[in-house]
Amino acid sequence: MGATKTDHFSEEQNKLANMMKALGHPARIAIMEYLIKVDTCICGDIVNELPLAQPTVSQHLKELKNAGLIKGSIEGTAICYCVDKEAIAMLQRYLANTTLQLETKEKSCC
């Protein structure tokens, strides 16, 4: 035990859960917000923005990348990270649809 039983759930449920999980840490929320705030995506100063050590930040970036939320490419000596717009858009659509489904229901018994 201890491992998530991913095989019992749908592809979409697992993908969504993975993205949500990646965003389920304040440091990673902060990283995303910073990447969005900064105009250019050439970012070599994410570490300076966060109250965490460099290896920790690097690990968080890796997780965001694995979840498909950011993209990174080598830019000389630094590495260029930026948000994957389509991934965010997908999340947004899912939640918008959920909200819509909820609004059409009048019953709210709790």
Pattern of binders to its own copies over 37-66, x per CB under 8 A?
A: --xxxx-------xxx--------------
Closest approach, Cβ 33 to its own copies, in A, equals 8
CB 22 within 8 A of CB 28: yes
User: 38's torsion region: left (phi>0), alpha (psi -120 to 50) or beta?
Assistant: beta
14 binds, among DNA, its own copies, none (CB under 5 to 8 A by kind): its own copies
Q: Is residue 3 part of the contact set for its own copies (CB under 8 A)?
A: no
Q: Is residue 58 part of the contact set for DNA (CB under 7 A)?
A: yes
Residues 31 and 14: their CA atoms lie apart, in Å, by: 23
Instruction: Quote the Cα angle for 39-22-72, to 5°.
Output: 45
Enumerate residues 6+ apart whose C-beta is below 8 A from 56: 27
Closest approach, Cβ 77 to its own copies, in A, equals 16
Interface segment toward DNA; rule CB under 7 A; list 31-39, 68-76, 88-96, 100-108: 68-76
Residues 49 and 31: their CA atoms lie apart, in Å, by: 9
Contacts with DNA, residue ranges (CB under 7 A): 1-5, 21, 24-25, 27, 43-47, 52-56, 58-63, 72, 74, 76-79
